[in-house]
Every structure is written in structure tokens, then in C-alpha cells.
Amino acid sequence: MTVLFWILGILAVPTLIFVLWLAWVFLKELFHPSPDDDAEATEAAEAAQAAEKLGLLPAERQDTDFAAPLPAEWTAVLTAVRGDDWRPAADLLAAIGRDWERRSALAYLLADRAAEEDAWLLAWEAERRDDPDAAVVRARSTVILAWKLRGAKTAQYTTREQAEGFHRTLVSAREEITRAAALNPDDPTPYIAEIWVALGLGYPNAEMDKLWAEISSRAPHHYEAHFSALQYWCAKWRGSKRLAFEFAERAAAGAPLGSLLTALPLIAHFEHDESEDTAADNTPEMLARVEAALQDAAAADPAHPRLPELRHLLAFYLHLQDRNEAALEQFKLVDGHVNALPWRYRGDMAGHYCRVRNTVVQAVREAAAAPA
């Protein structure tokens, strides 16, 4: 037994030495960072200062709720419903009328509030029993509530209780969607909400095609509808990389300038890009997609509620294509609000945005300082 202890002790010595060496390396790096780390930290600080001089905001001042500032009247309406006053919301939705892009965007924001607290919506429904505006907010709210119940984690980390609540709430949403659609037959908004039911309940592709026919007959170039449908067709949900790109390219090719649907191929690329470098972002196809998106953004209504989402994508891909001056122009137009692709999927949304933006600022500075 004594010999065995000696053998184990001898074998343990190298392990102990290795552990002590790792601890020494850690402490050395902690208290005396390597020159490379110092240089990177200094460069990052200089880039952040340069961004600040341009009027760009640090990470802690970036809004992570929206992709851009909301119109003042929308902010006022959302404030009113927090105080249980639904009438400004009803008046604004009525005033928007058949502007389907703005209608769906505002209905979503109201529905998101109702998914948290719906006393104001219940009061609206009680006073105006068959109001199509209240009905569409209710339908969207139930869909949003279902996804909140599910949580943001992948299926393997979703509990049985979450999955059951998710499924049950989506099923009930279908009845509310049908009612909202019947009360306002021309409105694509209820059907747009149903895309997220289709995604969650796993509608077969043929059923999704029928749903899409209802939407495209009412609003053939609706941005939110296309964005939502593209999620359905992505490989991570109910489609594949091929189906996602086919849908995105077809929609972009058939859309008029200013519709912003050139964002779709960029989104399809982002959703399926697993490469470790920027080669895939600099193919002739990607260069052409970014150029088309720039023209689309330039032709769009400046007040289009989804224009900032395209600008965020443009800023990202222009940077990856070493067009940093053009990227910086897009960053200047969206800075202050970061809830958009490609930042949205990161836990540190604002930090990720600012790191990329500051890299662009630094690249522009270095290019300006370089000898002609």
C-alpha cells in the first residue's frame, strides 16, 4: 500500500505543477496584461472617443427596445394605455386606416403592451364590442403572449409547462384571428399575426402557402409580412436554406423600390451564414444585394416604420465589405436604437452594436489620416 501511495504521489506532481502554472499565468494576465491586450484596449478606447466626438452614443445609452425612435403620437398612445386610457389608441388606429404598414406596426406595439397588462383593452372591448381595431390588437396580443409563455430558449431548454401553455395559447389565438379578419376583411394584419401561429404550431408548407395567398392578395409588398414569412421558411423553423432564399429573392425581385424588400436576401444570408470569415459576405451576389438595398433605402419614404431595420443591416454588411464610409453614414442614421438584426440575437445587443460601429469609426479615421 505504501508503494501505491508513492506511485500516486509521483504521478500527482506533474498535475500539481501544471495547475500552479495555469494559476500563475492567470494572475500575471490579470495584473500585468500582455502588450497586445494593452494595445487592443487602447485602440478600443480611442475608437469609442472618436465615436463620441461624432455624436454617437455609448452602449449604456442605446435603446434596446426599438430599432428607431417611435413617432411622438405613438409614444403618447403607448403612455396613455399604460394609464388604462384606450381612446387615443383607438383614435390613432382609426386615423391610420388602410396604411397597412403603419397599422400592423402600431397594432403590434399595442398588442405587446396588452400581453403584459390588458385592463385597458378589456375596457375597449367592453365599450365597442365589434370594433375591428380592438379585435386585431387582441388577436396579436394573444399570439405575443403565447411566445412570451414559451420563452426565448431553444426547444431542448423549454419546459413541458412552457410548451403546453405556448401550444394552448396559440390554438386560442386562431379563433381571435378569424374574428379580427371577419370584422375587417381587407386588413392583412390578422393574417400576419397568424404567420407566428403557423411557425409555432408547425403548419405544413402547403397550409402556409394558403395563408400567404390571403396576405399577398391584400398587401403584396408588406414588409412585416415578408419578414415574418421568411422566418417561417428558414431552416431553423419550418423551411430550409433553399426555401428561405427562394422566398427572399422572389419577393425582392418583384417589389418596387422603396418597399424595403431588398432586406430579405440579406436577412436570409444572415440567418444561414455559418462561416468564420467575411468571404461569404463579399461574393458578387452579396455585393449586388447590398447595392440594391442601398437604392431601396434611398427611394423609401423616410417615415417608413421599417426603414431603420434595413439601415441596420446595411451598416453591418457595408462594414463587412470594407465600405466603412458608407457604413458610417448608415450608423449615424440609426444610432441610439439597436433592437434590429444583426444585433438582436446577441445577449449584449448594445455592446455588440457599439463594437462594430466603433470599428467602422476607427477604420474611417485611419483611412482619412493615411497619405494620399
pLDDT at 300 over 60: yes
Q: Calculate mean pLDDT across residues 256-265.
A: 98
Report pLDDT for 53: 92
Report pLDDT for 5: 45
CB proximity list for 63: less than 8 A, separation 6 or greater? 69, 336, 337, 338, 339
Which of 153-162, 209-218, 244-253, 331-340 is the least confident region?
A: 153-162
pLDDT at 10 over 80: no
Q: Calculate mean pLDDT across residues 306-325.
A: 98
Percent of the chain with pLDDT over 70: 88
Report pLDDT for 36: 56
The model's confidence at residue 323, banded by pLDDT at 50, 70 and 90, is very high
> Residue 184's closest CA among 98, 122, 111?
98
Q: Which residue has the higher pLDDT, 128 or 150?
A: 128
Report pLDDT for 13: 53
Could you read off the pLDDT of 219-255 as tens digits, one per residue? 999 999 999 999 999 999 999 999 999 999 999 999 9
**β-sheet bridge partners, residue 337:** 63
Average pLDDT, the chain: 91
Which of 34-43, 64-73, 89-98, 277-286 is the least confident region?
A: 34-43
Residues 311, 181: Cα–Cα separation, whole Å: 32
Q: Which residue has the higher pLDDT, 67 or 13?
A: 67
Which of 19-28, 58-67, 138-147 is the least confident region?
A: 19-28
Report pLDDT for 184: 98
Q: Calculate mean pLDDT across residues 327-336.
A: 98
Let me know: does 190 contact 139? Beta carbons within 8 Å: yes
Cell numbers representing residue 77 in the block: 398612445
pLDDT at 25 over 80: no
> Residue 312's closest CA among 292, 300, 329?
329
The model's confidence at residue 8, banded by pLDDT at 50, 70 and 90, is very low
Report pLDDT for 3: 45
Residues 295, 309: Cα–Cα separation, whole Å: 15
Let me know: does 299 contact 257? Beta carbons within 8 Å: yes
State phi, psi for 63 to the nearest 5 degrees: -80, 125
Q: What is the pTM of this model?
A: 0.87
Report pLDDT for 21: 53
DSSP three-state, residue 63: strand
Q: Calculate mean pLDDT across residues 99-111.
A: 98
Percent of the chain with pLDDT over 90: 80
Let me know: does 350 contact 60? Beta carbons within 8 Å: yes
Report pLDDT for 43: 77
The model's confidence at residue 186, banded by pLDDT at 50, 70 and 90, is very high
Residues 76, 83: Cα–Cα separation, whole Å: 11
Q: Calculate mean pLDDT across residues 274-283.
A: 96
Cell numbers representing residue 363 in the block: 477604420
The CA R_g of the chain, rounded to the nearest whole Å, is: 25
Dihedral sign, CA of 8, 13, 15, 19?
positive
Q: Calculate mean pLDDT across residues 310-338.
A: 98
Angle, nearest 10°, between helix axes 100-116 and 72-82? 30
* Alpha helix stretches (DSSP H) within the chain: 2-31, 35-53, 72-82, 87-96, 100-116, 119-127, 132-150, 160-183, 189-201, 205-218, 223-233, 241-253, 263-272, 284-299, 307-320, 324-334, 349-369
Could you read off the pLDDT of 342-365 as tens digits, one per residue? 999 998 999 999 999 999 999 999
The model's confidence at residue 7, banded by pLDDT at 50, 70 and 90, is very low
Report pLDDT for 94: 97
Could you read off the pLDDT of 50-73 as tens digits, one per residue? 899 999 999 999 999 999 999 999
